[in-house]
Amino acid sequence: MSTLKIIAEAIAGTAQDAHNNKMAKIKQIYLDNAATTKVDAAVVKEMQRYMLEDYGNASSSHEKGRKSREAVENARKIIAESINSNSEEIFFTSGGTESNNWALKGLFMNHENKLLGKNHIITTKIEHDSVLDVCKWLENLGARISYLDVDKEGFIDLKQLEKEINDKTLAVSIIHGHNEIGTIQNLEKIGKICKEKKVYFHTDACQSYTKTMLDAKKYNLDLITLNGHKIHGPKGIGVLYIRKGTRISPLIHGGGHEKGMRSGTENVPAIAGLAKAVELAQSSKENVKRMQKLQEAIIKKIISLEKTKLNGSLDLTRRLCNNIHVCFHNIEGEAIAGYLNNDKIFISTGSACASHKLEKSNTLRAIGLNDLEINSSIRISISKNTTIEESDYFANKLKSAVEKLRLMSPFN
């Protein structure tokens, strides 16, 4: 053997050893980041400060209160800038669910909107339950709701949207990046239509925030729902962006916090933590590119297995960078998840929200999957913390789980 060849093999061997060592160190792999994310250590540190040191009530006029107030107003500024809006248009809530409830109920209940006879809301068949269930409830109160169809990749039809708008239409509410299938709607085009037809435009951007461009002005948005725990921030904190001049009533009445629009003592630690999470995401934009590369590599590996199909947008530029949703024909998603769970790899079948309802996903039905295909689908959602070693390890484990299950399946 030539010396060169020996050296080359030694180097390759070392690389392999290093790789194996990293593999051996993997204790668990969290691939359910669309359900929630690990809170960043810097976020926890920031929150701790507002629990252990500067724990004053932001409404108190003494120094301790002032420090809390400063934290809240600083957070408002950071978040406002991140979506190209103004501080006075940012309102803190208890999370994405509350923000969605407030946006739709607040518009519908508003006295002026009622006087104008506006009682029609347009949404889609693939919204998060915190929009769909509000719409169902509003129907009982006399609202008329149109649920737009989506194509097999999960995109709405802009022509159908335009056709649905009439002089009673109050608002259009359409999710930005989808929590199950990752499809990103074209908010710019939707916003143009809404502006032209003079109807309010709301988007649920919990999943897309910090992962793809979100610009309140460019997209003509009147209302935006955001939350903390999908972006490595705390749970139980959210934002509703309300464009100045929007006719909307409060959802929660009381002590008059947030300019009388959302009462309740401000959750200062969570607000400061959310702002920190936003800052971190903005200062490391390369994370999105890294996730895109990893996503593409994982998709390639999975799709190379037999009888698999990617659900959602096939064009990855119109798909959330952390989302992979796949159908493995003829085997149960739950069984795959069970095998992976035994290997301490955590993925999801259906969305976290739909899974405790034991209902089949509205979204998967809307993109044309039948019951068998829905049951055979899994969602893998990576994060900025996911490594190449983890994704390789996962792909191998997934492959062997699928092979085992295919051997057992009566259809194969």
List residues binding ligand PLP (CB under 6 A): 95-97, 128, 130, 175, 179, 204, 206-207, 227, 229-230, 238
Shortest Å, Cβ 147 to ligand PLP: 16
Which member of 135, 194, 321, 353 is catalytic? 353
Cβ proximity to ligand PLP: between 227 and 322 the closer is 227
User: What are the CA-CA distances from residue 11 to residues 15, 21, 102, 380 (Å)?
Assistant: 6, 15, 60, 34
Shortest Å, Cβ 58 to ligand PLP: 21
Cβ proximity to ligand PLP: between 130 and 287 the closer is 130
Cβ proximity to ligand PLP: between 131 and 398 the closer is 131
Shortest Å, Cβ 60 to ligand PLP: 27
Cβ proximity to ligand PLP: between 95 and 269 the closer is 95
Shortest Å, Cβ 211 to ligand PLP: 12
Angle between helices 129-140 and 96-109 (to 10 degrees): 30
Cβ proximity to ligand PLP: between 102 and 108 the closer is 102
Contact by Cβ (8 Å): 123, 146:
yes
Shortest Å, Cβ 375 to ligand PLP: 22
Quick check: is 135 catalytic?
A: no
Give the separation between CA 271 and CA 281, rounded to whole angstroms. 16
Residue nearest to ligand PLP as judged by C-beta position: 96
N-term to C-term CA, the chain:
47
Shortest Å, Cβ 248 to ligand PLP: 18
Residue 3 corresponds to which tokens in the numbers above? 């010396």
Give the separation between CA 91 and CA 98, rounded to whole angstroms. 11
Shortest Å, Cβ 317 to ligand PLP: 20
Shortest Å, Cβ 213 to ligand PLP: 17
Give the separation between CA 97 and CA 216, rounded to whole angstroms. 20
Q: Among positive and negative, which fits the CA dihedral 343, 347, 349, 355? A: positive
Cβ proximity to ligand PLP: between 54 and 222 the closer is 222
Angle between helices 286-303 and 388-408 (to 10 degrees): 20
Cβ proximity to ligand PLP: between 238 and 273 the closer is 238
Residue 201 corresponds to which tokens in the numbers above? 């435009």
Contact by Cβ (8 Å): 171, 107:
yes
Cβ proximity to ligand PLP: between 46 and 204 the closer is 204
Contact by Cβ (8 Å): 258, 57:
no
Nearest to 184 by CA among 219, 135, 137: 219
Active-site positions? 353
